[in-house]
Structure 1
């Protein structure tokens, strides 16, 4: 990942901590925790690669895992240290490093891993493939990881409400039917969007076995405004929808049209 990405997350560090408090982004968190509880081993060592300010690391620590955080942004990693200490928890380690440099992690040392951001900030395919290969290396045989990508198809759907003005150029609209890489001028920073079939192919070519995949926003994808309204006006309905979205995040009829894809993979024995 480039200095553009590092600078972006250093500048947005506090906002990134608050991001999952947003009623719509909370759907992503609920779905991710559903997948962790369903597919991760009951105990063991986990590395949160691209940990950000530690929101998922805290949840893993609460579940009794030994957690190491690896994060590009030193400011986000410092927030993680503070928040983890405030929660009365202790991580196994903090590593400030680019995700393309996973050589600091020992081979076959982890029972599970989260790779929840790096793959959609690596616009070079070989760099993404290297992260995937290194993830396989550091997992124990049979170890599990959750890998995240931004989904072009789901972003197109969300864009109808959120940035439809960009579709005045039909080329920009049709770009979302396939993978695309955006530089820091066109994206929120350097970012890579892909489609479910292409992500699966990339993952399997790196030697990881696909267990399942999910859409982080499930059937609520693209409905951010309505989700916010329900959060304010009808908390019971919001709570029921949040739970149902998490529990159905793997459903084929929803997952391919979500903004974020979560691939649950296993290192082949």
Structure 2
């Protein structure tokens, strides 16, 4: 993975920790936990790839899983280790490397894998395929993987309120109707966006069996300002919206137009 991505996360590890505390981002967080509870085995070893500062690893550890964290950012892993130890929890390993560089000798070690970042930071299709093939090798028979992509359609929708300047040109807006590769200057860092069909095809071409997929923000996608206002003004409305969005995140009428796509597949 390119140095620019490592540098971004090294510089923003505290921000990444706090990001999922945002009222809108918590929809993504709880939808992901919902999918983990629904599709992961009840126990076993989990590899959290793109673990960042450890938000999901902590939740997995609380649920009794044996967890190893892998990330390109040593600063994020250091923060994760501190937060995990502060909670009296223990992770198996903290591995600082690009998943593509992991030894070929490691096979069928994990019952489940979280792949939450690498697929939306690689412009190269062959690199993304290598990531998926590596994960397949690491999983035990019938192991489950949860894969996150950034969804072009959802980003287009969010752009109406978050970065409306793209709509000054229809040619610019049209770019969000397919694959989109952004440099570090164009996006939050170097990033790759894909439509659900492209992402699902990529996973299936690596010989995974897709079990389901969800839209992390559900029917609240693109409504960050409104969701935050409800959080501030009426916490009951906010909590009910959060619960309903999480429970409906797999509904076909919502999942194809959210910023984050969650694909669940099996070896």
TM-score range with shorter-chain normalisation?
over 0.9
* Structure 2 CA distance for aligned equivalents of residues 148 and 18 of structure 1: 19
User: Structure 2: which 5+ runs fail to align?
Assistant: none
The answer to whether structure 1 residue 185 and structure 2 residue 185 are counterparts is: yes
- Structure 1 residues 136-189: Cα deviation after superposition (integer angstroms, max 9, x where no partner): 110001000100000000100000010001221222100001111111111111
CA contact (8 A) 1:110 1:140 kept: yes
1:124 Cα deviation after fit: 0.7
Q: Is the 8 A contact 1:218 1:254 kept in 2?
A: yes
Does the Cα contact within 8 Å between 1:102 and 1:131 map onto a contact in 2? no
**Residue equivalent to 1:229:** 229
Q: 1:254: which partner in 2?
A: 254
* Matched residue, 1:166: 166
Q: TM-score, normalised by structure 1?
A: 0.98
Secondary structure of 1:34 counterpart: helix
For the residue of structure 2 that corresponds to 1:8, the secondary structure is: helix
1:84-107 per-position Cα deviation (integer Å, ceiling 9, x unaligned):
001110000000011222327721
Equivalent residues in 2 for 1:54-133, closer than 5 Å: 54-103=54-103, 106-133=106-133
Aligned residues: 267
Matches of 2:155 and 2:33 in 1, distance apart? 22
Residues 68 and 105 of structure 1, relative CA distance in 2, 3 Å threshold: farther
Distance 2:10 2:169 in 1: 32
| Distance in 2 between residues matched to 1:71 and 1:214, nearest whole Å | 24
TM-score (norm 2): 0.98
1:156 pairs with 2:156: yes
CA deviations over 1:54-96 (Å, ceiling 9, x no partner):
0000000000000000011111000000000011100000000
After TM superposition, the runs of 4+ consecutive aligned structure 1 residues lying more than 3 A away are none
User: Gaps spanning 5+ residues in structure 1: where?
Assistant: none
In structure 2, what is the equivalent of residue 33 of structure 1? 33
